[in-house]
Structure 1
Amino acid sequence: MAFPLLLLITSFLTLFIAYKLFQRLRFKLPPGPRPLPIVGNLYDLKPVLVRCFTEWSQTYGPIFSVYFGSHLSVVVNSPELAKEVLKDKDQLLANRNRTRQIAKFSKNGMDLIWSDYGPHYVKVRKLCTLELFSMKRIDALRPIREDEVTAMVESIFKDCVKTENVGKPLVLREYLGMMAFLHITRLSFGKRFMNSDGIIDEQGEELKGILNGAIKLGSKKSFAEFLPWLRFLFKAENDALAEHDYRADTFTKKIMQEHTLARKKTGNTKAHFVDALLTLQKEYDLSEDTIIGLLWDMISAGMDTTTITVEWALAEMVRNPRVQQKIQDELDRVIGTDRVMTEADIPNLPYLQCVVKECFRMHPPTPLMLPHKGNTNVKIGGYDIPKGATVSVNAWAIARDPKLWKDPLAFRPERFQEEDIDMKGTDYRLLPFGSGRRICPGAQLAINLVSSMLGHMVHHFTLTPPPGIKPEDMDMMEQPGTVTYMRTPVQAVLTPRLSGDLFKRVAVESV
């Protein structure tokens, strides 16, 4: 029994080495760390990939190769190469590489984020651009955003003025995470899942369970992804994926049925995404899998990223009281202290907009943009990228490159007053939302929400470090993962700046 298995493994090793030698002789691949058979460079990777890759770019240059098991991935670390990938040769690199988990979550690419480039992607992209994220719909959904932002502020205010909490720090991620959860589920599913007493209902608890299950599955680095010929050995993982898929499908279909029945009774269509998708299903020829995939795209893309960005922004406010004071001066001058900010005020708050840009520069929520996959052989930076290889843009490294930015590690919003730099895909020095065919369609919605959350927080409160902690001693390291949460959740002492009646939630029941 042992001999046939040894023979099988030896054969696989021989084939793998032969294939890699053939590939190296046939193609001029970018340089990079030497891979080992089977595992590639997995042994070399550090936990925070974006920092690891930024270090490697200093050794191997602005474009390098890395092997995840037997899969070749190329990382680019300069705006010139990013432009090649995202604009000049965009169509040749517009596919996606789907792991088993992603294939399940995306209905095998029937969504938007993980679909390959082709007729389906073009159709769904058009739907998102013209319907789901049109300026008309974004404006129609504004009351929900302002409702949830003010609900968050009210919750923080109630906690920070409690006698036992005065002068003590609060963990801000808890409030930001709940706000993001309630906001994106209302936009996607049309339901708040929480009553007036702050209790999450049964459906909301089921949704949280599904989301937590996805996080657990996503955090496990399975060897089955890198050793595809041995996937039959990972039955437990396959079963867990199937169970999660069934649970998410069951939940989503129930929500869809509820909305279909409600529309039949009232004849009214709401502005949120589930009603929009069901109403447009025939016009755009959408399968049930595509609707489910799109709804979960909205959840996955809109929840963690909002929490991450605003938490980093608030951490920078604690570390940079000068910047915080400057925003507060602008807010007091434009809005005053006798009313609360609304999204309509944002165009009149140029320094706040610069602070938001600076936060997206220093702390992009997806610092290694989702990988593009070649649908044919292509050259980037003079090197060959074989068909099927993936290419990632290191937006984090580009945004911290001292050749491109003055004092890149300093949080200095004034740089965007000195030079007007676009962050929605036209300037390849700043790419928090990507660029080209794969640019995030919800960029404007994200900018509005982050600006509103940060503006409200700084207008309502003064944020200072916990007692005994110096701003320069705060932990500003990222947590490992595709998205970059702070390794240590930020804590701050919050002191109210406005009168108590301005901390009340501006409730909106239905949109």
Structure 2
Amino acid sequence: MSYSLFPTLLAVLSVWLVLRLRKVGSRERDLPPGPPTLPLLGNLLEFPTSKIYIQFSKWAKSYGDIFSLKIGPTTVVVLSDPKIIRECLDVHGATTSSRPFFYVNELISNNCEIGFMEYGPTWRNLRRAAHDVLSAEACVKYIPIQRAEAFRLMYDLLERPQQFTTHIYRYAASVIFSVIYGIHCPEFENTFIREFYDVTAEFDKVLKPGFAPPVEWFPILRHIPERWAPWKRICKAIRTQQRKLFFTLLDLCEENMKNGTRNGCFMESVIDRQAEYSFDRELLGYFGAGILEGGTDTTSVYLQSFVGCVVANPAIQARAQAEIDHVIGSKRCPEPDDFEHLPYLQALVKEVHRYCPVTPLAVPHATIADERIGNYVIPKGSTIFMNTWAINRHEDYYDNPHIFDPERYMQSEFGTKPDVDTSAFRNDMIFGAGRRICPGKHLASTSITLNAMNLLWAFNFLPAKDLHTGEQKKIDLNDAEDFDCEIVPRSAEKADMIRAQFVVAKSTFELFDRRVPVTAS
């Protein structure tokens, strides 16, 4: 080849590269609409780093119930309509059920956790195992430990009401520890619970936008040496901390099985069928941990929101208590079957889900192939967000959606306006959609209904008073995880029944208490 051709080839290559780079960050023609983009960056600079669902909801009002963002060369699609969600995530679940690649998760767990794992044969095996031990039928056998822990929660609130947040955290975690590993944690401190929440808090930090560079969108950044990337060192430390806890729990479960001290917990069944599920030890350890993480947060955050909502709405609290008193009376504690006879309490539980969704954006999906939704094409490798917050506050669906009002669910199953087409609405939308819907939804729902009945049957929840002015503190229901309140037993008789039931519950705990030391050390 003549050297005289090199300048021409270099010029052609330069033009091609410029044209190629000009397309990076720009919205393809068949994508849903969205905010204007910048060359190379797309919408990166305006992508929110906190309460993402609020900005997404604002964009939905401007660009529609399906809109797109460009983050460098990658695509984000946000869905804010039940029909679109059903078509995209349910009907087309074969291509929209993966998870976005998350580099920090790879550094920490090597993508072994079921919640973040990409769609494929390994995930399907994990999902089948989760369904086998968390189906509605399988969860019936876990009700005794859930009831015993619910009585323990009432007892703790009776004895130390000022620590109600800690008691809720302990309850939610101890139920899941008991169900999964057969381990009861009677206290928050000096148990696996404290170590679990410490690990989870560190992991949550690295999941937040802005912790690390946008490696997923600009893969070249993953090659930054660790000495110049403190976030990589943090991920390595979290990995060590996680593995110590997760595999200690697995070791204890296996040891108890060998010693003949089974108690029917979740992981015993999975270990028995390890070969059937094609699990190696790595998958076993992360499988139990993934269910543990998903189940604990959902219940604890919901119960805090529930308490916040009844504190902020005393008339609603009084109406629910009147219904409970009429059905249950004052001579006995609530039973699981009582919930179906409490329509207003059912409406209250649904309204808390609507007003304070535990996961406003759910966990994002990802496409493994191009998918057409209506007039739009969602490209392979796109990230899909399901904006339940926007749906729950949609003025086309709900009357006065920004007002907390359980009465809406007394008028219709989904709380919507009379003329709304609810064919695509689902009561379990709070747990996600498609093939990625939360496998622990039955367990979580039982915990929620048991405690909703118990807490309002047993206690009055009152606003806390300012120590200086004596005035009642107001609660922001948009941030119902951080508030103070006063918790007072509704009668001396109910307080006595709580203490008596807690004594009875100890017999259930014995099956779990005798298996391991109470500390994680």
Do the structures match in fold with TM over 0.5?
Answer: yes
Give the Cα–Cα distance (whole angstroms) in 2 for the partners of residues 372 and 278 of structure 1: 29
Report % sequence identity: 25
Q: Return the TM-score normalized by structure 1.
A: 0.85
Q: Is the 8 A contact 1:107 1:293 kept in 2?
A: no
Alignment deviations for residues 337-374 of structure 1 (CA, whole Å, 9 cap, x no partner): 12222323222323222211111122221111221111
Q: Is the 8 A contact 2:311 2:462 kept in 1?
A: yes
Larger deviation: 231-240 or 276-285?
Answer: 231-240
* Deviation of 1:77 (Å): 1.1
Structure 1 residue 336 corresponds to structure 2 residue 336: no
- Give the match for residue 211 of structure 1: 200
Give the Cα–Cα distance (whole angstroms) in 2 for the partners of residues 155 and 360 of structure 1: 25
- Higher Cα radius of gyration: 2
Structure 1 residue 288 corresponds to structure 2 residue 281: yes
Structure 1 residue 223 corresponds to structure 2 residue 223: no
- Give the match for residue 96 of structure 1: 99
Stretches of structure 2 that go unaligned for 5 or more consecutive residues are 1-13, 417-421, 513-521
Larger deviation: 148-157 or 232-241?
Answer: 232-241
- Give the match for residue 267 of structure 2: 274
Structure 1 residue 40 corresponds to structure 2 residue 34: no
Give the Cα–Cα distance (whole angstroms) in 1 for the partners of residues 17 and 266 of structure 2: 49
* C-alpha RMSD of matched pairs (Å): 2.8
1:48-127 pair list within 5 angstroms: 48-104=51-107, 106-108=109-111, 110-127=112-129
Give the Cα–Cα distance (whole angstroms) in 2 for the partners of residues 17 and 469 of structure 1: 60
Q: Secondary structure at the match of 2:435?
A: helix
- Give the match for residue 4 of structure 1: none
Alignment deviations for residues 160-205 of structure 1 (CA, whole Å, 9 cap, x no partner): 4xxxxxxxxx4643322222222222222222244xxx47336554
* Deviation of 1:223 (Å): 1.0
* Deviation of 1:58 (Å): 1.0
* Deviation of 1:400 (Å): 1.5
Q: Quick one: structure 1 residues 406 and 279, their matched pair in 2 at CA, closer, same or farther if it must change by over 3 Å? A: same
Stretches of structure 1 that go unaligned for 5 or more consecutive residues are 1-9, 161-169, 479-485
Structure 1 residue 243 corresponds to structure 2 residue 237: yes
- Give the match for residue 481 of structure 1: none
* Deviation of 1:449 (Å): 0.6
Give the Cα–Cα distance (whole angstroms) in 2 for the partners of residues 460 and 119 of structure 1: 47
1:90-169 pair list within 5 angstroms: 90-104=93-107, 106-108=109-111, 110-129=112-131, 131-160=132-161
* Deviation of 1:74 (Å): 0.6
Match of 1:403 among 380, 390, 396: 396
Give the Cα–Cα distance (whole angstroms) in 2 for the partners of residues 227 and 125 of structure 1: 31
Q: Is the 8 A contact 2:461 2:485 kept in 1?
A: yes
How many residue pairs get aligned? The number is: 475
Alignment deviations for residues 227-278 of structure 1 (CA, whole Å, 9 cap, x no partner): 3212233623223222322332233223222222221221x54332222221
Match of 2:224 among 229, 233, 248: 233
Q: Quick one: structure 1 residues 259 and 422, their matched pair in 2 at CA, closer, same or farther if it must change by over 3 Å? A: farther
- Give the match for residue 166 of structure 1: none
Q: Secondary structure at the match of 2:438?
A: coil
* Deviation of 1:330 (Å): 1.8
Give the Cα–Cα distance (whole angstroms) in 1 for the partners of residues 426 and 249 of structure 2: 41
Q: Quick one: structure 1 residues 123 and 426, their matched pair in 2 at CA, closer, same or farther if it must change by over 3 Å? A: farther
Give the Cα–Cα distance (whole angstroms) in 1 for the partners of residues 203 and 16 of structure 2: 32
Q: Is the 8 A contact 2:180 2:266 kept in 1?
A: yes
Q: Is the 8 A contact 1:182 1:193 kept in 2?
A: yes
- Give the match for residue 261 of structure 1: 255
Q: Quick one: structure 1 residues 446 and 13, their matched pair in 2 at CA, closer, same or farther if it must change by over 3 Å? A: farther
- Give the match for residue 425 of structure 2: 428
Alignment deviations for residues 473-494 of structure 1 (CA, whole Å, 9 cap, x no partner): 422234xxxxxxx3x6122222
Q: Secondary structure at the match of 1:223?
A: coil
Letter in 1 for 2:233: D
Structure 1 residue 187 corresponds to structure 2 residue 179: yes
Structure 1 residue 503 corresponds to structure 2 residue 498: yes
Q: Quick one: structure 1 residues 375 and 452, their matched pair in 2 at CA, closer, same or farther if it must change by over 3 Å? A: same
